Amino acid sequence: GWKDAISTTIINFNNEKMQITWAARELFPGENVSFSYTFDEGKHKVWKPCPTYLLDQDYNSGCLFKTEGPTLAISIRNGNGSEQLFSKRLKSDFYIKPNRPENVTFFWKENTVTVSCNKPEKAVKCLRLELQYKSKFDKEWQSRTSKCCSVGEQGFDPRKCYSFRVRLKRLVPYCNVVNYSSDWEAETFWMNGTLLDSCDDDSIKSQPNTVIVLSCLLAVLLMILILLILLCKWQRLQKSVMPAVPDPKYIFADLFNDHNGNFQEWIDKTDHAVVQTKLEYEEPECIIEAESQQEDEKNSDKQGLQEKVFTFSGAAENNDLKSARIACLMPASNTIASFAGFQILMNDDMYVML
């Protein structure tokens, strides 16, 4: 009967690998036992030797092998395999230890935190998601368990920093005969919805400092932008109220370049050039016309133009010309013109023959 009382530890890792251990030195002192297993049922069982032994001071203390079915039979024998020391038949599905939760996400809204993870491919109904948390003012972990794969809790103070950890559990006794849970997911630290490196005072202070620095930087950039806008508007206002005085150096370039700023010399030459230009471009065109009916009809088309007529008598080069009219179409300005030995001074509304 003592063979059935041997204590063994059986773990089925997510229904992928089996691990069976025993107390080798206490149960079998001085003897290195062998292990074999089978997943076959019925009389024709095929026993397989242990592929990987677990050692305790060079003694076989356990075996690790692949999970191949729901029903498992194990056998422990002496070193040469001639005597069976222990045997057991069991359901491998009742010893499942789940893996850690995958893709864990935290959602913090006001004073409520919701934690969720990806659903496993198998046996979701047998799993529960456990959330544990505590602040630096709590001595022990607070626990909350819900169906896979989301759990929420209320009452979190946004001014406190909390440590969180989650794991998956198997239901007992409906799914497992042993209360197996997964390993804890990596511990995380949160404060008012913000992930921190830790809940140390330095880490908590660094977060507000970062916010303050960013806020100050944003304010400085905003002030610079406002100053640039005001500067542009001030320049426009200054131009409209006090227009810039043109520099005579650029307007009268010939005064400074050709005459070295000598105004009298520059104005003399400028007046001479202006008079020549007026004479050249404003010299009136005068037409001598004989009194005849045909010429009067031609001149009737020019009634809209400013016509100045001067009649003169005396000796002329042609004695047969009894009378003539001098018609000059000219702009209203001071101009001196010559015709047939006479000089005519024209000034706006008055013409003087010299």
Instruction: Please check whether residues 92 and 23 belong to one and the same domain.
Output: yes
Neighbours of 146 (CB within 10 A): 16
207 in any annotated domain: no
Rounded mean pLDDT, 226-240: 80
Residues 6+ apart with CB under 8 A from 33: 24, 60, 76, 77, 78, 79, 85
Domain boundary among 201, 227, 250: 201
Q: Could you give phi then psi for residue 110, rounded to 5 degrees?
A: 55, -110
When pLDDT is cut at 50, 70 and 90, the band that residue 323 belongs to is very low
Of 52, 59, 154, whose CA–CA distance to 109 is shortest? Answer: 154
217 in any annotated domain: no
Give the residue, 120 or 246, on which the prediction is more confident: 120
pLDDT per residue over 252-287, tens digit each? 666 666 766 676 777 777 665 554 444 444 444 444
Structural domain boundaries, residue 54 = 8-97
pLDDT > 90: percent of the chain:
34
Of 178, 159, 160, whose CA–CA distance to 169 is shortest? Answer: 178
pLDDT > 70: percent of the chain:
65
354 in any annotated domain: no
Whichever domain contains 69, its CATH number is 2.60.40.10
Q: Has this prediction a pTM greater than 0.85?
A: no
Token pair of 210, please?
């970062």
330: pLDDT strictly greater than 50: no
173: pLDDT strictly greater than 70: yes
Rounded mean pLDDT, 206-230: 80
Instruction: Please check whether residues 86 and 169 belong to one and the same domain.
Output: no
134 in any annotated domain: yes
324: pLDDT strictly greater than 60: no
